[in-house]
Every structure is written in structure tokens, then in C-alpha cells.
Amino acid sequence: MKSTSQLQEINHYQDQDFPVNVYYSDIHSMQPPGRWLRDFHWHDELQFTLVLSGTLTMQVDNLSLPGQAGDLIFVNTSLIHAVTQMSEDGSYASLNFPYRLLAFFPGSRMDQDYVLPYTAGGKFSAFSIHPESEWQKELIGLHKKITDLFLSNQVKGNEYSICIKITSMWNLLISNFHSSGNSTSINLLRQQRLQSILLFIYAHYADDLQLSDLAASANISVGECCRIFQNILHTTPYGYLTNYRIQTSVSLLHRDLPISQIAGLVGYNQVSNYIATFKRIIGCTPAQYRKQHLSKPDIPSS
């Protein structure tokens, strides 16, 4: 069973003394491995996602932020988000870094006036940046330079230069924020309630869960629970739980476990119900998935 911390992404940096990373993703995979397509999550880091090719949609709370090649999407700290759609030729590079990096040192004038009011003060949440004005082009250009260093394995020896570029990106953003016209507020209380429910699901997905259990985990009514899921994730609580169970079972299919056992591990008492649900969501049966994706012919199928 996954721990309750796994919905909150913990970024694994290549160098723990340099907490900056770029995640490259296309329709097939993400490198280094991380939270990928339609995988809602949150993290403490700030995130700038550059669309490298094709098109995609980033969902943050009830915001749907479309992007095409050359666009940049900003997501503030601790907001639940995911890339929910991506074209076949789509690819992107997400730059993640802790907002503390921008402050130089805790409690500094930079921290008080130029970082915390925007990260903790709720001045902005998430929005798209298009290469239209000069400051937008400059900000996107800085991201491209950082991305190039990461994708070409030239980070070592350029750490200081990368940090300067990140600080320059932030300065451009907050200096021109009001002129961007893209500000949309996020209901932080609703975000916190959804985080509580999702953490509960990740801890108890194998149990016999009722809708009332999910609502109680955030101390809200069943009706409010349903509204939050519909407004932010555009699905029902049970629909999210079902999809999470099936997606979790996909990783278990890569292990030497009978399908009947996997069904029980993800909350299904009847293997036939699990197989039917798996086929509806994934498009094939668990046994067919194993045959297509694994090379071990002797893995038990029941």
C-alpha cells in the first residue's frame, strides 16, 4: 500500500545540494520519472512548464490552461495540478525549484517583499505565458536556456548560472504580473479539502470505502465532497477512486502476482468486477496487458 505522502510529489534532485530539476515528457514517458499525464499531484516547488512541441492542457483547480509550442505555464506552490491532455506530437519540459531559492536567505528583504507575497500571500496561482511581449519572450528564453543545459547533461559547472536565470525569470514575472492579465484566483480552502480526501484515498484505497468516508476525511458533507471533485477534477469521488485503483493495479501487474491477488490488493472482492473495470479504463484485460507489456510468460494469470 502506498504511503499517504505519495500524492504529494517529492522531487528527487540529481544533486541534493542543488534542488533544481527539469522533467522532460512526451506522450509516452517522463524523464526523470515523475508524476505524468493525468496524474494529479502537488509539490512545494514552483513550476514553469514549457511546451516544446504540439499542444497540451494543464489543469489547476477548476482552471484549464491550454498551451502550444512556445508557451509557458506557471503553477504556484502546493496547488493540485496535472497535464490532462497532450497531442500525439506533444512534449514539454517542467522546471521545478523551491521558492526558497529566490529569497537568498530566510527573512531577507527579497523574501519579505518579492517571494512570500506571491507564494504564500495568494497574489497569483496559475496562468499561461505566451511569447507576445518582450518580457514574455525573455522569460521563455531563459527557461529554454535552462532546459537545454539539463537535457544536454551540462548542469554541473553551470549551477550558479542556472540560479541567476531562475531569479531573472521570477523578477520578470512579478515585475510584469499585472500587465499579463492572466491572474485567476484559486480557492485555497477547497484545495486543502481535496488534498485531505486524496491523501485518505491513497492510504485506504484497498478498503471498502463509502462516499461518506471520503467526505468525513475532510470534515465536509457528501454534497460538498462531490462538488469539490466535480469542480476541480471533473469527475466523481468514486470515479477518481476507481481510476486510482486500476492505475495502481497496472504497476502491480509488473510483479509476479496472480491477477486474483492483485484485484484484492486494490480493493476488489470479485476478480470478475476488477477485470471488467480494468478493461473499461485501460482498454484490455489485465492478462492481455501483461502479455503486451511483459516478457515473462510464466506469470500466473489467475
Domain encompassing residue 148: 21-180
Give the pLDDT of residue 122.
67
- How many domains are there within the chain? 2
Whether residue 170 is found in the same domain as residue 204: no
Note whether residue 2 is domain-resident: no
Residues with pLDDT less than 50, the chain: 1-6, 179, 181, 296-302
Whether residue 108 is found in the same domain as residue 220: no
**Domain boundary pick from 147, 180, 213:** 180
Give the pLDDT of residue 296.
46
CB atoms within 10 A of CB 14: 14
CA distance 170 to 186: 20
Residue reference for cell 495540478: 81
Task: Please report, for the domain that includes residue 251, its CATH number.
Answer: 1.10.10.60
**Domain boundary pick from 145, 180, 215:** 180
Whether residue 149 is found in the same domain as residue 244: no
Whether residue 194 is found in the same domain as residue 169: no
Note whether residue 1 is domain-resident: no
Note whether residue 46 is domain-resident: yes
Whether residue 117 is found in the same domain as residue 258: no
Whether residue 58 is found in the same domain as residue 164: yes
Note whether residue 269 is domain-resident: yes
Give the pLDDT of residue 30.
84
Task: Please report, for the domain that includes residue 145, its CATH number.
Answer: 2.60.120.10
Give the pLDDT of residue 219.
97
**Domain boundary pick from 152, 180, 208:** 180
Whether residue 42 is found in the same domain as residue 101: yes
Give the pLDDT of residue 37.
79
Note whether residue 12 is domain-resident: no
Whether residue 124 is found in the same domain as residue 211: no
Give the pLDDT of residue 50.
98
Whether residue 265 is found in the same domain as residue 133: no
Whether residue 37 is found in the same domain as residue 142: yes
| DSSP character string of the chain | ---TTSSB-----SBTTB--EEEEEESS-EES--S-TT--BB-SSEEEEEEEESEEEEEETTEEEEEETT-EEEE-TT--EEEEEE-TT-EEEEEEE-GGGGGSSTT-HHIIIIIHHHHTS-S--EEEE-S-SHHHHHHHHHHHHHHHHHHTT--TT-HHHHHHHHHHHHHHHHHHHHHH-------HHHHHHHHHHHHHHHHHTTS---HHHHHHHTT--HHHHHHHHHHHTSS-HHHHHHHHHHHHHHHHTTSS--HHHHHHHTT-S-HHHHHHHHHHHHSS-HHHHHHHH---TTS---
Whether residue 70 is found in the same domain as residue 25: yes
Note whether residue 148 is domain-resident: yes
Note whether residue 138 is domain-resident: yes
Note whether residue 109 is domain-resident: yes
Whether residue 147 is found in the same domain as residue 200: no
